[in-house]
């Protein structure tokens, strides 16, 4: 498999134009995956002007029925309901999709959608492995599609102001960024293998993953803690924290990664670590350090940027604590712009055909997602790994390189050539 560093500026496709925006200002959207995040997509998309949620897709028929009722109550229109997303891609009336499936479906769903001429808003993490993320960006470029990732804090005024200050050099050269995430999760126990329920299309739910027995720890949330489907807490919530640090530090992919941790205090069916520490090191010696704690703590979620002139800490809501030099008292918090609605931003970019209008363009979310994958690979191999961002491979480590992709189950295959 060829793995090349695929970094193409979103601005490079800004010149791409279609007659769609002039011909039809109404955007017809299909929401694919209508669980917790998909239901949120529906709530967030309903207020956006001149948008119709025209179709819902989920292998769980109960979910599509429930969400269709919500849409009908709000709009008086009932969307088309499907279990197989491919029927939506064949619908020429659908302009865009939002993807809120399980992680292992994110990239393939968006790639298929873009190949069919649809724009795509993709939940985090935007891929299940590094290879998929590269192909996702390639598809957006090849088919000149508008595609965004769901890292919402890029739209929040306080975070945008913090990044503006960092990029202006307020704390000097940033040599380290730290994040802390408190998961506070309980054991998932053990669930026995059984026949899938009749309301679930098990083959479609599995999709690219290996065929295996159904059990209730997979459907519908705890799949996050199984490697075939999820990416652990690092991919589930760590992506949000990594994205802010990488944005503020203007970093892409590291040259070295190390991770420790485990499934601490839990004798259960889960496979991914519930507590994990990761360090990503860049070629200039700067680093990102992440800590995810899955048991009990009263510590708040936070980001810390350490610079040669000062320290900027951000709390969960984006509040700033900026201290300069040897000062102990923080600086006054600056004024910050209003939040931007992320669904409105996506729809506006769909209409303008200009990906540079997006505040979380798919390439940026892919890069942040890739750090999650690299961290998990370091954890799974138990080694300090060297990574080549140009070749998109680990150096002299066959086992680690194998985990950059997966064995796909036909016909649910992310292709080498999109």
133 vs 113: CA distance, rounded Å: 15
Q: Are residues 160 and 294 in the same domain?
A: yes
> In what helix (H) or strand (E) does residue 97 lie, and over which residues does it extend?
strand 96-99
pLDDT digits (tens, 9 = 90+) for 57-93: 999 999 999 999 999 999 999 999 999 999 999 999 9
- From residue 170, give the alpha-carbon distance in Å to each of 96, 102, 147, 174: 40, 40, 32, 10
Burial 188-226 (b: 16+ CB within 10 A, else e): beeeeeeebeeebebebbbbbbeeeebbebbbeebbbbb
Q: Are residues 230 and 280 in the same domain?
A: yes
The closest of 380, 407, 406, 403 to 392, measured between CA atoms, is: 403
**309 Rama class: left (phi>0) / alpha (psi -120 to 50) / beta:** alpha
Torsion, Cα 54 55 61 64, to 10 degrees, reads -50
Mean pLDDT, the chain, whole residue set: 93
Q: Are residues 332 and 346 in the same domain?
A: no
Q: Are residues 161 and 148 in the same domain?
A: no
What is the token pair recorded at 340? 């931007």
Q: Give me the residues paired with residue 393 across strands.
A: 388
| Helix-helix angle 157-167:239-249, to 10 degrees | 40
Q: Are residues 252 and 303 in the same domain?
A: yes
User: Is residue 160 predicted with pLDDT exceeding 90?
Assistant: yes
pLDDT digits (tens, 9 = 90+) for 197-217: 999 999 999 999 999 999 999
Residue 1 lies in a domain: no
- From residue 29, give the alpha-carbon distance in Å to each of 60, 88, 89, 114: 19, 10, 11, 13
pLDDT in the model for residue 11: 34
What is the token pair recorded at 288? 């990102």
Contacts of 298 (CB under 8 A, 6+ apart): none
The closest of 100, 110, 17 to 63, measured between CA atoms, is: 100
Q: Tokens 């979103």 belong to which residue?
A: 10
Q: Are residues 160 and 292 in the same domain?
A: yes
Q: What are phi and psi of 319, to 5 degrees?
A: -60, 140
Percent of the chain with pLDDT over 70: 94
Q: Are residues 280 and 318 in the same domain?
A: yes
Residue 211 lies in a domain: no
Residue 216 lies in a domain: no
pLDDT in the model for residue 367: 98
User: Is residue 7 predicted with pLDDT exceeding 50?
Assistant: no
80 vs 42: CA distance, rounded Å: 14
Residue 248 lies in a domain: yes
Determine contact, residues 240/124, Cβ cutoff 8 Å.
Answer: yes
pLDDT digits (tens, 9 = 90+) for 319-336: 999 999 999 999 999 999
**182 Rama class: left (phi>0) / alpha (psi -120 to 50) / beta:** beta
Q: Are residues 18 and 90 in the same domain?
A: yes
Q: Can you tell me the mean pLDDT for 268-279? A: 98
pLDDT-based confidence at residue 415 (cuts at 50, 70, 90): very high
Domain with residue 168: its CATH number is 3.30.360.10
Residue 144 lies in a domain: yes
Using a 10 angstrom Cβ sphere, with 0-12 exposed, 13-18 middle and 19 or more buried, the burial of residue 239 is: buried
pLDDT-based confidence at residue 5 (cuts at 50, 70, 90): very low
Q: Are residues 385 and 298 in the same domain?
A: yes
Between residues 88 and 7, the one the model is more confident about: 88
Residue 209 lies in a domain: no
pLDDT-based confidence at residue 24 (cuts at 50, 70, 90): low
Q: Can you tell me the mean pLDDT for 298-302? A: 95
What domain range is 354 assigned to? Answer: 10-152+342-360
pLDDT-based confidence at residue 10 (cuts at 50, 70, 90): very low
Q: Are residues 38 and 127 in the same domain?
A: yes
Q: Which parts of 34-75 fold into alpha helices (H)?
A: 36-45, 61-75
Q: Are residues 348 and 288 in the same domain?
A: no
Q: Are residues 164 and 104 in the same domain?
A: no
Contacts of 94 (CB under 8 A, 6+ apart): 28, 29, 30, 54, 55, 88, 118
Q: Which parts of 353-397 fold into alpha helices (H)?
A: 362-381
Q: Can you tell me the mean pLDDT for 295-301? A: 93
Between residues 31 and 12, the one the model is more confident about: 31
23 vs 28: CA distance, rounded Å: 13
pLDDT-based confidence at residue 393 (cuts at 50, 70, 90): very high
How many structural domains is the chain composed of? Answer: 2
Domain with residue 14: its CATH number is 3.40.50.720
User: Is residue 16 predicted with pLDDT exceeding 50?
Assistant: no
């Amino acid at each position: 498999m060829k793995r090349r560093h695929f970094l193409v500026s979103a601005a490079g496709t800004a010149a791409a134009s279609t007659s769609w925006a002039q011909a039809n200002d109404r955007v017809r959207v299909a929401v694919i995956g209508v669980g917790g995040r998909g239901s949120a997509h529906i709530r967030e998309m309903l207020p956006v002007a001149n948008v119709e949620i025209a179709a819902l897709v989920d292998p769980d028929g109960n979910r599509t029925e429930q969400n269709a009722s919500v849409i009908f109550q709000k709009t008086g229109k009932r969307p088309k309901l499907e279990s197989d997303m491919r029927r939506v891609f064949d619908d020429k009336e659908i302009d865009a999709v939002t993807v809120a499936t399980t992680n292992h479906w994110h990239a393939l769903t968006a790639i298929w959608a873009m190949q069919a001429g649809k724009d795509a808003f993709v939940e985090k993490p935007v891929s299940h492995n590094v290879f998929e993320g590269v192909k996702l960006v390639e598809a957006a470029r090849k088919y000149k599609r508008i595609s965004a990732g769901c890292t919402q804090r890029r739209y929040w005024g306080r975070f945008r102001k913090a990044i503006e200050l960092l990029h202006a050099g307020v704390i000097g050269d940033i040599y380290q960024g730290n994040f802390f995430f408190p998961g506070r999760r309980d054991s998932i126990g053990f669930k026995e293998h059984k026949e899938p329920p009749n309301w679930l299309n098990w083959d479609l739910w599995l999709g690219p993953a290996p065929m295996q027995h159904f059990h209730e720890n997979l459907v519908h949330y705890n799949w996050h803690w199984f490697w075939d489907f999820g990416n652990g807490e690092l991919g589930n919530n760590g992506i949000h924290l990594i994205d802010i640090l990488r944005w503020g530090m203007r970093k892409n992919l590291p040259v070295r990664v190390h991770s420790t941790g485990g499934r601490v205090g839990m004798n259960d069916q889960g496979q991914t670590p519930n507590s994990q520490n990761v360090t990503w090191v860049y070629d200039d010696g700067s680093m990102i350090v992440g800590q995810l704690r899955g048991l009990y703590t009263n510590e708040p979620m936070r980001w810390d940027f350490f610079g040669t002139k000062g320290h900027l800490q951000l709390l969960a809501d984006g509040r700033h604590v900026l201290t300069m030099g040897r000062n102990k008292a923080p600086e006054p918090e600056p004024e910050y712009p209003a939040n931007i609605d992320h669904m409105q931003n996506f729809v506006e970019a769909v209409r303008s055909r200009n990906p540079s209008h997006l505040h979380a363009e798919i390439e940026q979310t892919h890069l942040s997602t890739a750090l999650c994958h690299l961290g998990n690979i370091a954890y799974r191999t138990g080694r300090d790994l060297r990574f080549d961002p140009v070749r998109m491979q680990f150096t002299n480590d066959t086992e680690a390189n194998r985990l950059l992709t997966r064995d796909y189950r036909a016909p649910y295959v992310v292709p080498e050539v999109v």
